[in-house]
Structure 1
Amino acid sequence: MSVYLTIFGKPRYLGIMEVDSPVLVPGEPVVIETMRGVETATVGGPISEEQTELYRKANENSPKDGAQGGEPGLQTVTFVAQASEDDIVADQENRRDEEDVLFKARQVLGEHGLAMKIVDVEYLLDRKKLFFYFTAEQRIDFRAYVRDLAREFRTRIELRQIGVRDEAKVVRGIAPCGNPCCCSYWLHSFLPIGIKMVKEQNLALNPTKISGLCGRLMCCMSYEHHVYRELWKKLPNPGSKIRSPRGTFILVGVDIDGENALVRTPDGAHVPVSVERFADFKEAVMVGEDWQPFVAVSDQEEERPPIEPVFAMPTSTTRPVREDKDEPSKKEERSGSSEKSSRKGAPGKDSSSDKPKSSSRRRRRKKKKPATTSGEKTTDQSQGQKPPKDKVKQGTPKAKSGGKEQSPPEKGDSKPKRRRRRKKPGNNKKTDKNVKKDGNDVSKGGTAD
Structure 2
Amino acid sequence: MNYLVIFGKPRIFGLLSNLDQELKRDTNVVIESLRGLEIACLAGILTDEQVQKYRQRFEFLEENGEPDDGLQMKPVEPPLQDVAFVRIAQEEDICEAAKQRQEEDEALPLVRDMLKKHALPMKIVDMEYLLDRKKLYFYFTSEHRIDFRCFVKELAKEFKTRIELRQIGARDEARILGGLAPCGKECCCSYWMLQFFPICIRMVKEQNLALNPSKISGLCGRLMCCMSYEYDMYKELWQGLPNPGTKIKTPSGNYQIAGVDVINKAVRIRSPEGLEFLVPKDEFELFKKTVEGGQKWPLHVESVVTVEADSGEAVSKKNSNKKRKSKK
Q: Output the TM-score relative to the length of structure 2.
A: 0.86
Indicate how the Cα distance of structure 1 residues 19 and 96 shifts in structure 2: closer, same or farther if over 3 A, else same: farther
Query: What SS does structure 1 have at the residue aligned with 2:171?
Result: helix
Q: Sequence identity of aligned pairs in percent? A: 51
Q: Any gaps of 5 or more consecutive residues in structure 2?
A: 67-71, 304-317, 322-328
> Aligned partners of 2:19, 2:159: CA distance in 1, in Å?
39
* Alignment partner, residue 377 of structure 1: none
* Alignment partner, residue 218 of structure 1: 224
Counterpart residue identity of residue 20, structure 2? S
Indicate how the Cα distance of structure 1 residues 4 and 67 shifts in structure 2: closer, same or farther if over 3 A, else same: farther
* Alignment partner, residue 392 of structure 1: none
Q: How far 1:248 moved relative to its partner? A: 2.0
Verify: 1:115 aligned to 2:115, yes or no.
Answer: no
> Aligned partners of 1:179, 1:245: CA distance in 2, in Å?
51
> Aligned partners of 1:198, 1:8: CA distance in 2, in Å?
33
> Aligned partners of 2:236, 2:139: CA distance in 1, in Å?
40
> Aligned partners of 1:67, 1:185: CA distance in 2, in Å?
20
Contact 2:138 2:164 (C-alpha < 8 Å) held by counterparts: yes
Query: What SS does structure 2 have at the residue aligned with 1:190?
Result: coil
Contact 2:269 2:277 (C-alpha < 8 Å) held by counterparts: yes
Structure whose residues are more often strand by fraction: 2
Verify: 1:154 aligned to 2:155, yes or no.
Answer: no
CA shift digits 1:156-201 (9 cap, x unpaired) = 0000011000000000000011110011111120011111111121
Once structures 1 and 2 are overlaid, which stretch shifts more, 167-176 or 269-278?
A: 269-278
* Alignment partner, residue 227 of structure 1: 233
Counterpart residue identity of residue 265, structure 1? S
Instruction: List aligned pairs for 1:140-289, cutoff 5 A.
Output: 140-287=146-293, 289=294
> Aligned partners of 1:184, 1:278: CA distance in 2, in Å?
42
Counterpart residue identity of residue 169, structure 1? R
* Alignment partner, residue 130 of structure 1: 136
Structure whose residues are more often helix by fraction: 2
Q: How far 1:298 moved relative to its partner? A: 5.9
Query: What SS does structure 1 have at the residue aligned with 2:104?
Result: helix
Query: What SS does structure 1 have at the residue aligned with 2:147?
Result: coil
Indicate how the Cα distance of structure 1 residues 50 and 291 shifts in structure 2: closer, same or farther if over 3 A, else same: farther
* Alignment partner, residue 50 of structure 1: 49
> Aligned partners of 2:142, 2:174: CA distance in 1, in Å?
15
> Aligned partners of 1:260, 1:165: CA distance in 2, in Å?
35
Indicate how the Cα distance of structure 1 residues 296 and 196 shifts in structure 2: closer, same or farther if over 3 A, else same: farther
Contact 1:281 1:291 (C-alpha < 8 Å) held by counterparts: no
* Alignment partner, residue 34 of structure 2: 35
> Aligned partners of 2:32, 2:116: CA distance in 1, in Å?
35
> Aligned partners of 2:163, 2:218: CA distance in 1, in Å?
31
Q: How far 1:69 moved relative to its partner? A: 6.5
The one of the two structures with greater contact order (alpha-carbon pairs below 8 A, sep at least 6) is 2
> Aligned partners of 1:274, 1:20: CA distance in 2, in Å?
55
Q: Any gaps of 5 or more consecutive residues in structure 1?
A: 308-449
Contact 1:200 1:229 (C-alpha < 8 Å) held by counterparts: yes
Counterpart of 2:80 (choices 74, 78, 100) is 74
Counterpart residue identity of residue 28, structure 1? T
Q: How far 1:151 moved relative to its partner? A: 1.1
> Aligned partners of 2:236, 2:74: CA distance in 1, in Å?
36
